[in-house]
Amino acid sequence: MKLVRFCRQITQRLWLFVLLTLGVSVWLLGTNTQQRRLLGNASEDTCRAKNHIMFLKTHKTAGSSILNILHRYGDRNSLNFALPYERDFNYSSYFNASWVKGFNNASRAPYDILCHHMRLNISEVGKVMPSDSFYFTILRDPAAMAESAFSYYRTYCPTFKEAPNLKAFIYNTSLYYRPNNESHHYARNLLWFDLGMDPDEPFTEEMASEGVRAVEDAFNLVLFAEHFDESVILLKEELCWELDDILTFKLNARETPTQLEQEDIERLRAWNSLDWYLYVYFNRTFWEKVERFGRERMDMELRRLRERRQQLAELCLEGLKPLKADEIQDEEIKPYQPTDEKILGWKVRHDLRPSTKARCVQMITPEVQYKYLLDDWQFPEDARYRAKEKELEAKKRSKKIRGKKPEAAPVNKLAVSPRNKPDMVAENKPEVVAGNKPEVP
Ligand SMILES: Nc1ncnc2c1ncn2[C@@H]1O[C@H](COP(=O)(O)OS(=O)(=O)O)[C@@H](OP(=O)(O)O)[C@H]1O
């Protein structure tokens, strides 16, 4: 009997010990996860966010939406952008390191992000960016690109200008295209050109696959405009970023794209055969990457991304559809308008709290305006100079309309202070500490 009682006591104590151990482990695990969550990396146990990034912004490929992601991320994390003096790096000349603002300043901080339009010259890029940088770019079906480029660059590109319309160009490309014409690169193998290669070289399988190898060597990841959501999910995975980092609304879309017929598509792909070769190759490797990522996981991530985008759209935007250019008067958020095309844009709701508004305005600020804001913060001297110039221009304008009552500050305007970053950046800092979770009412 004594032995039985003794055994029972031992078993009870053992159970108590096991339960206690389990309880403590669960509590410790919970605390740990919570702490990691507060630091914003609950799901990223094994990776560190990458902050050295080179994005080759190809033309008419959804690059402006990607740029918005990079601008916001760099802005929120106070990263140093390698900026051009103007809007781009003297495109369409080959990129040169000395065209980056501050490059020759020996005491400058290292650059973190290089992302504005350039024609790639990989060795010059290597002089600017840290050796551990992540390189990526984006492609689009050359037929869709050509349709977009035709209307967007019509005024600047004689090849397009001379053609009475897109159909005429498609059915008689060699009549209008002259390789030595100014801006001819917009009209043929534009991807190939942006990637630093010769768009007029006659197509051979060997040469095309050499080009593919060069791109593969240079870039860690190649995205696709047609698969934008899958692309940014792969990007998030590679960069070890958070969902909100890669969320964006569609930027720089045209009001009236032309619907292409199948025959037009085939012809444009054949005309841009080098780009099409690139597209087909990297499209295959892209889906292989998706397979490795996991289809189910991708579907789950897509759902999360779309839900969150919808949530942010409802929170931020005045209307869930992009607005026509004429509906946006505020120059700070109006997308650049080429001569022959209208570009859609967005407005934020006017009933938002300041910190929410700041965050929302970030998401709709077009590339050009955001680039100049970043420039102002990194180079306050230039900002003061630009502010004076603006003031002078405004004075000139006001002379013409003297007597008119000044308008109230537009709700979408970003206030730029010459010494500090604008409010929208300062207001976002606590959100970064809390793991980049924007406030949702
Ligand atoms: N998220 C997303 N998904 C799919 N497509 C998108 C996205 N964002 C922008 N776009 C389309 O990309 C075209 C503009 O490309 P870019 O911004 O690279 O143009 S530019 O070279 O900077 O002018 C432009 O195409 P077109 O409207 O055919 O011209 C945009 O509609």
DSSP assignments along 58-113, one per residue:
-TTSSHHHHHHHHHHHHHHTT--B--BSSSSSSTTSBP-GGGBTTTT-TTPPPP-E
Mutate to test the pocket of ligand 1, among 55, 61, 247 (most ligand atoms within 8 A of CB): 61
Cα-to-centroid distance, 253 and ligand 1 (Å):
5
Please give the pLDDT value at position 393.
84
Q: Is residue 91, in this structure, part of any structural domain at all?
A: yes
The ipTM assigned to this model is 0.99
Q: Is residue 135, in this structure, part of any structural domain at all?
A: yes
Q: Whose CA is nearest to atom 19 of ligand 1?
A: 60
Cα-to-centroid distance, 151 and ligand 1 (Å):
13
Strands 113-114 and 53-56: parallel
Per-residue pLDDT at 340 exceeds 90? no
Please give the pLDDT value at position 50.
98
Mutate to test the pocket of ligand 1, among 57, 58, 64 (most ligand atoms within 8 A of CB): 64
Per-residue pLDDT at 371 exceeds 70? yes
Cα-to-centroid distance, 41 and ligand 1 (Å):
31
Mean pLDDT of all residues in the chain? 86
The whole-angstrom separation of Cα 245 and Cα 62 is 17
Question: Which whole number is the average pLDDT over 104-131?
Answer: 97
The segment with the largest mean pLDDT, out of 271-275, 392-396, 415-419, is 271-275
The whole-angstrom separation of Cα 370 and Cα 384 is 17
Per-residue pLDDT at 36 exceeds 70? no
Question: Which whole number is the average pLDDT over 330-336?
Answer: 94
Cα-to-centroid distance, 233 and ligand 1 (Å):
18
Q: Whose CA is nearest to atom 28 of ligand 1?
A: 148
Cα-to-centroid distance, 122 and ligand 1 (Å):
24
Question: Which whole number is the average pLDDT over 104-129?
Answer: 97
Q: Whose CA is nearest to atom 9 of ligand 1?
A: 62
* Overall number of domains in the chain: 1
Q: Is residue 153, in this structure, part of any structural domain at all?
A: yes
Of the candidates 227, 192, 246, the one whose C-alpha atom is nearest the C-alpha of residue 58 is 192
Please give the pLDDT value at position 11.
60
With a Cβ cut-off of 6 Å, ligand 1 is lined by: 59-65, 148, 225, 228, 250-254, 257
Model-wide pTM > 0.80: yes
C-beta of residue 411 within 8 angstroms of C-beta of residue 361: no
With bands split at pLDDT 50, 70 and 90, how would you rate the model's confidence at 64? very high
Question: Which whole number is the average pLDDT over 160-176?
Answer: 96
- Which of 32-36, 157-161, 290-294 is predicted with the least confidence, judged by mean pLDDT? 32-36
Q: Is residue 347, in this structure, part of any structural domain at all?
A: yes
With bands split at pLDDT 50, 70 and 90, how would you rate the model's confidence at 208? very high
Q: Structure tokens of 344?
A: 């859609």
Q: Is residue 28, in this structure, part of any structural domain at all?
A: no
Please give the pLDDT value at position 185.
96
Per-residue pLDDT at 29 exceeds 70? no
Please give the pLDDT value at position 21.
55
Domain that holds residue 124: 53-389
Q: Is residue 400, in this structure, part of any structural domain at all?
A: no
CATH number of the domain encompassing residue 290? 3.40.50
Q: Is residue 185, in this structure, part of any structural domain at all?
A: yes
Q: Is residue 195, in this structure, part of any structural domain at all?
A: yes
With bands split at pLDDT 50, 70 and 90, how would you rate the model's confidence at 12? low
